[in-house]
Amino acid sequence: MLNPVIFELHKKGRAAEHLPAPETPEEEILASIPERMRRRLPLRLPEVPELELARHYERLARRNHHVEKDFYPLGSCTMKYNPRVHERIAALPGFAALHPMLPETLAQGAIRLLASLEEALAAVTGMDAFTLQPAAGAHGEFTGLSLVEAYFRKKGEDRRKVILPDSAHGTNPASVRRLGLEPVEVRSDERGEVSIDALGAVVDERTAALMLTLPNTLGLFETRLPRIVEIVHGAGAQLYLDGANLNALLGIVRPGDIGFDVMHTNVHKTFSTPHGGGGPGAGPVGVKEHLIPFLPTPRPVRDGDRWTWKHDFPDSIGPVHSYYGNFAVLVRAYAYIRHLGGPGLREVTEHAILGANYLRSLVEKSYPVPYRRAAMHEFVASAARFFQTANVRAMDIGKRLLDFGFYAPTISFPLIVKEALMIEPTETESRETIERFAAAMLAIAKEIEEDPERVRGAPYDTPVRRVNESLASRRPRLVWEDGADGEGVPSRG
Amino acid sequence: MSYIPHTDEDREKMLRSIGVSSVEDLLREIPRSLRFEGTLPLPPPLSQMETELELARIAAENGAALACDSFLGGGVYDHYIPALVGQTTARPEFYSAYTPYQAEVSQGTLQAVFEFQSLISRLTGMPLVNASLYDGATALVEAIWMASGERSGRNEILIARAIRPSYRGVLCSHLAVSGLRLREFPFGKEGTTDLSCLKQMISNETAAVVVQSPNVFGLLEETEEAGRIAREAGALFIQVFDPASLALVRTPAEAGADIAVGEGQSLGSPPNFGGPLLGLFAARAEFLRRMPGRLSGMTEDANGARAFTLTLQTREQHIRREKATSNICTNQGLVALAAAVHLSSLGPEGFRRAALISQERALELRKLLREAGGAIPFEGPFFREFVVRFPEESLKRGLVRHLLDHRIVPGIPLERAYPEMGGCLLVAVTEKRSRESIRRYADLVRDFADGKGKGAPSDA
C-alpha cells in the first residue's frame, strides 16, 4: 500500500518494548480497581515495529508543505521563518520538564521569564499590562472581550453591542457571540476603510466595543483612526485591536499610544513561533490601566527579590487556562524579542512592508488590487476578471500555485473583495523568492488565457490531486475502523 | 538584521520597482500623530548565541527542580515518552506547517489528525473526536456550550465539586455571562461525588451533568450511575476523563457519557510548565454537526486515491462567523501529533504497562506513607494519584520544606482550593518514579516525625 494509515501497519505483538513488566503480578495491581470500574472494551491501539513507525511519520512528513520547504503567501497568517535556535531553547529541560505546580522557589526562572515577556509585549505595543494565558488568537479575543464586559458590568453599564467591520476575521463575530454579546457589522467605504458615517450611525450608549484589525484585512491602515477613536470613546465604548496584523506595526505605531484600550497578539504570527500544523499558538492580551484589575489570575508579580504568583485580584475574570498559557510557545516569543530588541523589531516591520509592496508591484498588472493605496504588510488582489472571462476562480489559482511548489494565498477573504487573493510575504522571504512567486502568478495568468481548463483542474504535481471535499462532508469518515477480515475499512461516521 | 535576507542592493531594487525612494514613503498613509518615534523601550538586542545563553541562564534558575523526584500531578503528569515522539514533532515538516487548509499539500498533517481522532476514539470508546482544543479546562467549556445548545430549553449545568480546581476557575471565567446557571454538587466524606445530592438537585432545568473520573483526588467515580441519573432527567452526561487511566479503567463510552473531555498532556508531551496542553473532545455520533473545532475526514482525490481534508467546515467561524459552533481557530495540532505518535509507539501493551506500573507504585507509596504516619482520608479505589494528610505537628515543624531540601517534591497542597483540607497533599506517581525514590520519600516523612529529620540534606 502506497500510503497506509497507522492501523494498516498493525500486527499483533510487534510493537517495540518501551517499558518493563510491572514487578507485582498484574492481578494484584488490578485488585485495587473493582471489577465494575475496569475497562472491558478491547484497547485497539496499533502494534507497529519502531522502524516501520519511523518510516510512517517520514512518509507523512514528506506529504506536507512547510515554511522550510517553500514560501507560504498566506495573508493575515504571517508565515515567517521559525528560528531553529528557538526550538533548542524551548526544549531545555529547565523549561520543558517543569511542572506547573512546582513550589515557586523551584520555578523562579520560569515565572520571571513570563513576567519579562509581559513587560516586553507592553513595551512593543504601548499597553500597560498583559496576560499570557490565552492559548490562541481567538482565545485572546474571547479574553479581551471578557475584560471589556467585566469592566462595564462593574460600572453598572448595560452595553451589549460589539461593532465589527465587514472585513473582520470570522473569529471576531464568533468570539462576540460566545460572550452572549451582539455583533453589529459596519461597512467599509470605497477606500477600504471603516465608513465613518456608518460607524457614527451604529455606535451608541449600548455599544461595548469596536473591534478593529490594524492594518485591516485589506492590508490598509485606517487613516481616520483619530476620528474612530473619538466616536468610540465619545460614546463611552472601548476600542479593541485584533492584533493579527501586528507585524505591520512594530516600532512604527504602538496601539496603546493611539487609543486602543485592549488588544490581543498572535505570537505565532508576529513573534515567529511555529504554527505547528494548527497550533499550539498563543494569544496574549494587553490592556490599558483601567482594565488591569480584570485581567486573568494568577499573575506573576515581583515580591522583593522573588517572583510569585498572585491570585488575589477581586475584580479579575478568573483564569482562562488550566495554568499560565502555552509556556513553551511563550519561551520562543521571548527569545525572539530578546534577540531582535527594539531596532530589530522595527526592521522586521519595515521589511515586511517593503516585501508586500514589492510583490504587489510585480503582480498587480495581472491581478488588480481593488484599493490602490500603499499596502502595509499584505495586500489583497482580485481574480474576479479571470472568473468573468475564463470561469477560473481564486481557489483554482491557489491550487495551481501548489504545482509551482508554493502554498496558496488566503483565498476568498476578506469577504468584501470578489475572488480575493490575500498575500503576505513577511520579512523573511528573500527578493529572489518573491520574484519566483510573482513569476508563477504571472505564468498562471497567462495560462488562464491559453488553457483555463488546465488551471481549473489543478493541482497535478502534489501528493494528491484535487481533494473531494464535498464527498468528505456528505459521507463523513472521521475515524478508522477495521473490518472483520482485518482489511481496513473506514467508518461511515 | 537577523532573519531578514535583503541586502542594500535588494532594497534599492525593490524600492525602485515600487516607485518610491524609501520605506518611509510607504508609511505616509499613517497619520503623523499616530507614529511612534524613537526606539522601542526593550533591552538591547543580542546575537543568537547570546540569546541562547541568556535563556539557558533563565532555565538554569529552575535547575534545582530537575534534581528533584517530583510527585506532582493534578492534571499534568510526568510519564515516559518514547524518543520518536519528540523527534517527530521537532521536524519542520510538522512544526513549521500551517493549518491544513490546502489539503493537497497538507496530507501529512491531515492524516496525522485523522489518526489522532481514531486513536482517541479507540481509547475512549466514543465515535466522534475532534482535532483538539486548547486544554482540558477549555474542552469542558466547549462541552458545556455544546450541551446547552443541544438542550436549549434548559439553562442549568450541575458540576461536581470534585473536578480540578483549575477547571472550576476556567468555567467561571468562560461561562459567567453565558446565561447558564452553574451549580456545584458536593463530594461526600469518601471523597467521591455525592450522587444522592445530585439526584435531589437535578431537574428539568438541567441541561448537563459534569463528573470527573478519576476525580480531583484521584478517586474513581460511579460514572455509570451519574450518567443514569442525568439521562433519566433528560440531561446530557459529560465525563471529564484522564486518558492514561483508560488503559485500566472503564471508558466514558462504557459509562454512558454523551460528551467526554480530558487533558491529553500525559500522551507524549513534557510538562512544559503547564503549556501547551491538549484538550481532548469526544462525543456520541449524533452530535456531529454540533462539534466544536476542526475535524479531519477521509475522502478521495480527483483520481479516486485516498486523501484527507478538513471537513464539515460550515460549523466553523471562518465560514459561519457568529453562528459558528465555536470561535476556535488555531488549536493544539502539534500536541495532538505527539499524542498520536505516543499511542502508536507504545501500543496497547506499553500503554497498559505505564498505567499498571504507575498504579503499582502509587499503591506502594500510599502504603508506605500511611506507615510513616500519614493519614489517607479517602480509601476508595483510585488511579495513580491519592490524597495524604500529614500530622499537623510535622507540618508545623516544616515537613514540606524538609522534603524539598531533600529533593522530594511531595505533592500539591489542596487547601487553597478546598479550605477544609488543610494539611492535605495530592500525590501522583508515574512509572518514571523509581521504587527507591518512593521509599526515600516515605523514610524522610517517618524520620522527620521521629525527630530524626533535622540537619543538612543527605546525599541520597
**pLDDT, tens digit, 9 for 90 and up, residues B400-450:** 999 999 999 999 999 999 999 999 999 999 999 999 999 999 999 999 988
Q: Report CB contact under 8 Å: A341, B44.
A: yes
* Three-state DSSP state, B417: coil
- pLDDT of the residue at B313: 86
H or E element at residue B388? strand B385-389
- pLDDT of the residue at B324: 85
Q: Report CB contact under 8 Å: A478, B311.
A: yes
Q: Where on the phi/psi map is residue B402: left (φ > 0), alpha (ψ -120 to 50), or beta?
A: alpha
**With contact defined as beta carbons under 8 Å apart, do A463 and B105 qualify?**
yes
Q: Report CB contact under 8 Å: B360, A106.
A: no
User: Which residues of chain A does B64 touch, with a Cβ-Cβ cutoff of 8 Å?
Assistant: 105-106
| Cα separation, A310 vs A298, whole angstroms | 5
User: Which residues of chain A does B220 touch, with a Cβ-Cβ cutoff of 8 Å?
Assistant: 33, 37
Nearest CA in chain B to A409: B102
Best probe of the A interface among B40, B54, B220, by most A CBs < 10 A, is B40
- pLDDT of the residue at A151: 98
Confidence of residue B460 (pLDDT cuts 50, 70, 90): very low
How many residues can be counted in chain A? Answer: 493
Mean of pLDDT values over A66-88: 97
Q: Where on the phi/psi map is residue B63: left (φ > 0), alpha (ψ -120 to 50), or beta?
A: alpha
Mean of pLDDT values over A215-223: 95
Instruction: Report the amino acid identity of residue A216.
Output: N
Decide if domain B83-342 falls under CATH 3.40.640.10: yes
End-to-end CA distance of chain B: 50
Percentage of residues of chain B with pLDDT beyond 70 = 98
The mean pLDDT value of chain B amounts to: 95
| Cα separation, A61 vs B95, whole angstroms | 10
- pLDDT of the residue at A362: 98
Q: Nearest C-alpha of chain B: how many angstroms from A414?
A: 10
For A90-94, which contacts have Cβ atoms below 8 Å and span 24 or more sequence positions? A90/A328, A90/A329, A90/A331, A90/A332, A91/B86, A91/B90, A92/B55, A92/B56, A92/B59, A93/B59, A93/B66, A94/B56, A94/B58, A94/B59, A94/B60, A94/B61, A94/B62, A94/B63, A94/B65, A94/B66
What cell does A486 get? 482485518
* Three-state DSSP state, A378: coil
**With contact defined as beta carbons under 8 Å apart, do B255 and B227 qualify?**
yes
pLDDT tens per residue across span B318-371: 888 888 888 889 899 999 999 999 999 999 999 999 999 999 999 999 999 999
The candidate with the shortest Cα–Cα distance to B72, out of B311, B320, B316, B410, is B410
Q: Where on the phi/psi map is residue A31: left (φ > 0), alpha (ψ -120 to 50), or beta?
A: alpha
Confidence of residue B116 (pLDDT cuts 50, 70, 90): very high
The mean pLDDT value of chain A amounts to: 95
Mean of pLDDT values over A210-215: 97
Mean of pLDDT values over A102-125: 98
Q: Which domains does chain A have, with CATH numbers?
A: 6-62 (no CATH), 86-340 (3.40.640.10), 348-470 (3.90.1150.10)
In DSSP notation, B341-373 reads: HHHHHHHHHHHHHHHHHHHHHHHHHHHHHHHTT
Percentage of residues of chain A with pLDDT beyond 90 = 94
Q: Report CB contact under 8 Å: A149, B224.
A: no
- pLDDT of the residue at A486: 40
Q: Nearest C-alpha of chain A: how many angstroms from B453?
A: 21
pLDDT tops 70 at residue A385:
yes
Output the CA–CA distances (angstroms, integers) from residue B102 to A65, A412, A462, B47, B238, in the order listed.
9, 13, 11, 36, 34
Q: Nearest C-alpha of chain B: how many angstroms from A83?
A: 8
Question: Residue A64 forms beta bridges with which residues?
Answer: B106
In DSSP notation, B232-280 reads: HTT-EEEEEE-GGGGGTB--HHHHT-SEEEEE-TTTT---GGG-S--EE
pLDDT tens per residue across span A143-178: 999 999 999 999 999 999 999 999 999 999 999 999
Please state the φ and ψ torsions of residue A137, each to the nearest 5 degrees: -60, -50
- pLDDT of the residue at A415: 86
| Cα separation, A444 vs A73, whole angstroms | 15
User: Which residues of chain A does B148 touch, with a Cβ-Cβ cutoff of 8 Å?
Assistant: none
- Decide the pairing of beta strands B206-213 and B156-160: parallel
The candidate with the shortest Cα–Cα distance to A198, out of A188, A190, A212, is A188
Mean of pLDDT values over B283-306: 96
| Cα separation, B128 vs B111, whole angstroms | 16
Selecting from B28, B166, B270 the residue whose C-beta is nearest the C-beta of A374 gives: B28
pLDDT tops 60 at residue B454:
no
Selecting from A277, A323, A362 the residue whose C-beta is nearest the C-beta of B94 gives: A277
Selecting from B288, B324, B352 the residue whose C-beta is nearest the C-beta of A476 gives: B288
Q: Report CB contact under 8 Å: A63, B111.
A: yes
- pLDDT of the residue at B107: 98
Q: Report CB contact under 8 Å: A344, B2.
A: yes
Selecting from A65, A253, A491 the residue whose C-beta is nearest the C-beta of B106 gives: A65
Instruction: Report the amino acid identity of residue A411.
Output: I
* Three-state DSSP state, A185: strand
Q: Report CB contact under 8 Å: B334, A362.
A: no
Instruction: Report the amino acid identity of residue B95.
Output: Y
pLDDT tops 90 at residue B217:
yes
Output the CA–CA distances (angstroms, integers) from residue B288 to A239, A314, B128, B227, in the order listed.
37, 40, 7, 20
Instruction: Report the amino acid identity of residue A149.
Output: E
pLDDT tens per residue across span B52-103: 999 999 999 999 999 999 999 999 999 999 999 999 999 999 999 999 999 9
H or E element at residue A163? strand A161-165
pLDDT tens per residue across span B166-199: 999 999 999 988 889 999 999 999 999 999 999 9
Selecting from B172, B250, B354 the residue whose C-beta is nearest the C-beta of A39 gives: B250
Nearest CA in chain A to B403: A103
Selecting from A83, A183, A428 the residue whose C-beta is nearest the C-beta of B4 gives: A428
- pLDDT of the residue at A490: 44
Q: Report CB contact under 8 Å: A430, B173.
A: no
Q: Report CB contact under 8 Å: A318, B173.
A: yes
| Cα separation, B346 vs B357, whole angstroms | 14
Best probe of the B interface among A7, A66, A132, by most B CBs < 10 A, is A66
User: Which residues of chain B does A169 touch, with a Cβ-Cβ cutoff of 8 Å?
Assistant: 318
pLDDT tens per residue across span B50-64: 999 999 999 999 999
List of residues 6+ apart from B45 with CB closer than 8 A: A339, A340, A341, A342, A343, A344
Confidence of residue B453 (pLDDT cuts 50, 70, 90): low
- pLDDT of the residue at A484: 40
Q: Nearest C-alpha of chain A: how many angstroms from B454?
A: 20
pLDDT tops 50 at residue A471:
yes
List of residues 6+ apart from A452 with CB closer than 8 A: A386, A390, A391, A392
A·B CB contacts under 8 A: 700
Q: Nearest C-alpha of chain B: how many angstroms from A164?
A: 11
Residue-range domain boundaries for chain B:
67-78+347-449, 83-342
User: Which residues of chain B does A325 touch, with a Cβ-Cβ cutoff of 8 Å?
Assistant: 274-275
**With contact defined as beta carbons under 8 Å apart, do A473 and B311 qualify?**
yes
The candidate with the shortest Cα–Cα distance to A282, out of A292, A294, A268, is A268
What cell does B35 get? 507614529
Percentage of residues of chain A with pLDDT beyond 70 = 98
Q: Nearest C-alpha of chain B: how many angstroms from A382?
A: 19
pLDDT tens per residue across span A227-270: 999 999 999 999 999 999 999 999 999 999 999 999 999 999 99
**With contact defined as beta carbons under 8 Å apart, do B174 and A138 qualify?**
no
User: Which residues of chain A does B97 touch, with a Cβ-Cβ cutoff of 8 Å?
Assistant: 64-67, 275-277
| Cα separation, B96 vs A104, whole angstroms | 33
* Three-state DSSP state, B390: coil
- pLDDT of the residue at A299: 98
**With contact defined as beta carbons under 8 Å apart, do B115 and B88 qualify?**
no
- pLDDT of the residue at A413: 86
| Cα separation, B325 vs B303, whole angstroms | 33
**With contact defined as beta carbons under 8 Å apart, do B425 and B411 qualify?**
yes
| Cα separation, A112 vs A59, whole angstroms | 41
Instruction: Report the amino acid identity of residue A268.
Output: H
b/e per residue B208-242 (b: at least 16 CB within 10 A): bbbbbbbbbbbbbbbbbbbbebbeebebbbbbbbb
pLDDT tops 60 at residue A11:
yes
| Cα separation, A300 vs A311, whole angstroms | 9
CATH assignment of B67-78+347-449, given 1.20.1440.230, 3.50.50.60, 3.90.1150.10, 3.50.30.30?
3.90.1150.10
Q: Nearest C-alpha of chain B: how many angstroms from A28?
A: 9
Running DSSP on this structure, what letter comes out for residue B418?
A: -
Percentage of residues of chain B with pLDDT beyond 90 = 92
Mean of pLDDT values over A316-342: 98
| Cα separation, A137 vs B397, whole angstroms | 47
Selecting from B271, B319, B334 the residue whose C-beta is nearest the C-beta of A100 gives: B271
User: To the nearest 5 percent, what fractions of chain A are helix, strand and coil?
Assistant: 40, 15, 45
End-to-end CA distance of chain A: 24
pLDDT tops 50 at residue B456:
no
Q: Nearest C-alpha of chain B: how many angstroms from A368?
A: 15
- pLDDT of the residue at B178: 84
In this structure, what is the dihedral angle of CA atoms B75, B76, B81, B86, given to the nearest 10 degrees? 120
Angle at B109 between CA B103 and CA B110, to 5 degrees: 55
Query: H helices of A34-107, where?
Result: 50-62, 84-90, 93-96
User: Which residues of chain B does A360 touch, with a Cβ-Cβ cutoff of 8 Å?
Assistant: 18
Selecting from A83, A142, A277 the residue whose C-beta is nearest the C-beta of B327 gives: A142
